[in-house]
Structure formats: structure tokens, C-alpha cells
Amino acid sequence: MSQLKTTIHDVAQAAGVSVSTVSLVLSGKGRISSATAERVNLAIEQLGYVRNRSASILRGGESGVIGLIVRDLSQPFYAAMTAGLSEVLEQQGKVLVLTQSGQHGQNLQRCFDSLAAQGADGIVLGGAVAQAEMLIAQAQEQQIALICAARASSLDSVDSLRPDNSQAARIATEYLIRQGHQRIAWIGGLGSSLTRAERIGGYCATLLQYGLPFRADWIIECDDRQQNVLALTQDLLHHHPRITAIIAHNASTTLGCYFGALHSGRSLGEDAVDSYFTQKMALVGFNDDPQRESYDSSLTFVSSEARDVGRRAAERMLQRLSQPEAEVQTLIVPPRLVRGGE
């Protein structure tokens, strides 16, 4: 087997151990028996595996490598978050290594193993937190700092930073109610999304608080492909023409709703006055897209400033590396309303 094709997984299989055990041997961390270490080292030599420079450096101290795992870097939230994370880490001489776990987090373990093999001092988990429980013990065993910086998080045993999704939905819903809207629908997000669950919780709670109707058929589940959203928006407005406002799950969904409304003969506006007769509709979305200023001024967003999430995650990572025994913290980044044109 050539050196170019030999991976840490090949070494683990040849030695009859887990990838995590190989990572421990490479980094010099954790408690590994001399017999196991010898078996791993023999497999490394036989396969011609090239030891990562960072892992070798780690034996004498920190590598300066921080890993980041996201589902899809093309998503605006994670792109902006990565920029903020890199901005702070690079100022401190750290190197950020990016990996993608896939839309459903199917490659999460592989990403973790790869970063561990590179001797990462810490890993920022930016998505697929529902599958991440198994990584916590591995990170502790390998003395890798683990920070969760995601849109939503169910991990209580590691440091985490996230937007306040429930409050963001409350802000969006209350804003529309104060504009006079009483028939407010929700479009977007998949049922498996914790972010969606938190936002819909805030939306429903606000409707009930103001004594407004909550209708399950006004809550549409879908992915964020704009053509799908456009069609579903048209269908919703066709069957429920008295709806005067829509809250959209994210930036892509917002644009799909926007075009769906236009194709339905609606014009965009904020006030609910005579909206049924004038065919006006209000649209509020959740947006972490740094290009939001290019959107139609009739659109309003609730923003959680993903770049700030990244900056604060980097700061927390640096603190965790300097104080490994410090108490676990959960930090919430508050949302704010951004009206069209701001």
C-alpha cells in the first residue's frame, strides 16, 4: 500500500484497534498500554503511514491547530460563523482546519478522527449536535477541548454558544402582531431540526400569548430549496388567502417565500391594514447572511449575527485551552430585528 493512500483508518484496521486509539498513540495523549502502542507503531511502519507534523509537535506542547466541523460550509450561518472564528484564532497564531460532516452529520466521526490525527488542540462543533454525544468521551480521553457553536444545541456537558432561537421567533411574531397581523403562517425547516423546533416553540407561544389562532395547517415543513418553497408558498396562499404574514425558517426559505408570494399576486408590505383586499403580505425571516443588504427593502429579518457567534466561540476555545478544568458554560447570542434597508 502506498503512502499516499494509507490513512489512519488503515492503521487502525491493521493494528486491530480503533481510530481513536491510533490518534492517542500519534499524539502521545491518554493512557495506552505499551503493548497496544507497540502494535500501532508496528502497523504504522509496515504500512508506511506518514505521521502528521502537528501530531508530532503535540508531544512537546500545543499544536496550534483548531478543528471545525460543520455540516455544509455553503450555508450562510456557518460561512459567517467560520469567518468570525478564524478572525480571532488567527490573531492568536492558531490554524483553523475546516471539515464538513455532511447534511445529516453522517461523516461526523470521520471528521473528528481526522482532526484528532492532525493533533488538534480543540475542535469546534458547528452542526450535527444530535449525533455528537459519542464524541464527548473521546474528546475527554484524548484531551481535546470541545466547543459547540451551532444554531441549536442539546449538549449540556461541553461549552456551547448559540443563538436564542425561541426568542428570535418571539421577536419576529410579536413584530408582525404589532403591525396588525392576526393570520400568520410559518414556512420551512425539517421536522428533525432542533433549530426549527425551538423557533416554532417561540412562534406558537407568542400567538397564544396574544390570543391568536394557532393552526397546524399553517405550519409547512420543507427543505430550503427555493423552487420547493416557492411552490408550497403558492399552494398555502391559494388554500388560505386570508393569511397576511409569513415567517420563514431561514434566508433561503425567505427568498422562496418572497417569489412564491409575488407569483401568487401578492405585493410585499409590513402593515396589515386592508391587506386582504390589497393583496399585501408581510414576510419576516431569520437571516445570518452577510449580504442581506442586497435584499428587497420590504423584507424584515431577525438576525443572530453568526459572525459574532464565531468570535465568541473562538474566545471561549482560547479560555478553555488555558483553563482546562474551568466550569462548563452555555453562552447565548441575543437576536435583533433588522428592518428592510437597514
Q: What are the residue boundaries of the structural domains of the chain, listed by start?
A: 1-51, 63-163+308-334, 165-303
* C-alpha cell read off for 336: 435583533
| Phi and psi at residue 50, to the nearest 5° | -85, 115
Outline where DSSP puts E strands in the chain: 65-70, 95-100, 122-125, 145-149, 159-163, 184-187, 219-220, 245-248, 267-268, 280-286, 300-303, 330-333, 336-338
Identical fold, 1-51 and 63-163+308-334:
no
Could you tell me which residues are beta bridge partners of residue 66?
A: 96, 122
* C-alpha cell read off for 36: 497496544
Determine contact, residues 224/188, Cβ cutoff 8 Å: yes
pLDDT value of position 50: 62
pLDDT value of position 27: 67
Could you report the average pLDDT of every consecutive run of 10 residues in the chain (342 residues)?
58 83 72 83 80 48 83 83 92 90 84 86 81 80 86 76 91 95 95 90 97 92 93 96 93 91 87 59 79 65 87 94 89 84 54
> Nearest Cα to 168, choosing from 340, 342, 341, 338?
338
For 136, counting Cβ atoms within 10 Å of its Cβ (0-12 exposed, 13-18 middle, 19+ buried), the class is middle
Cα of 174 vs its chain's centroid, Å: 25
pLDDT value of position 72: 84
- Second CATH level (architecture) for the domain 1-51: Orthogonal Bundle (1.10)
- Second CATH level (architecture) for the domain 165-303: 3-Layer(aba) Sandwich (3.40)
Q: Among all chains, which residue has been given the C-alpha cell 450561518?
A: 77
* C-alpha cell read off for 166: 425561541
> Nearest Cα to 253, choosing from 278, 296, 281, 285?
285
- In CATH terms, 63-163+308-334 corresponds, of 3.40.50.300, 3.40.50.2300, 3.40.640.10, 3.30.1490.20, to 3.40.50.2300
pLDDT value of position 3: 40
> Nearest Cα to 298, choosing from 265, 342, 248?
342
Query: 3-class SS at 105?
Result: coil
Q: Measured between alpha carbons, how far is 177 from 209 in angstroms, rounded to an integer?
A: 11
Question: What Rg, from alpha-carbon coordinates, does the chain have?
Answer: 24
pLDDT value of position 298: 74
pLDDT value of position 189: 92
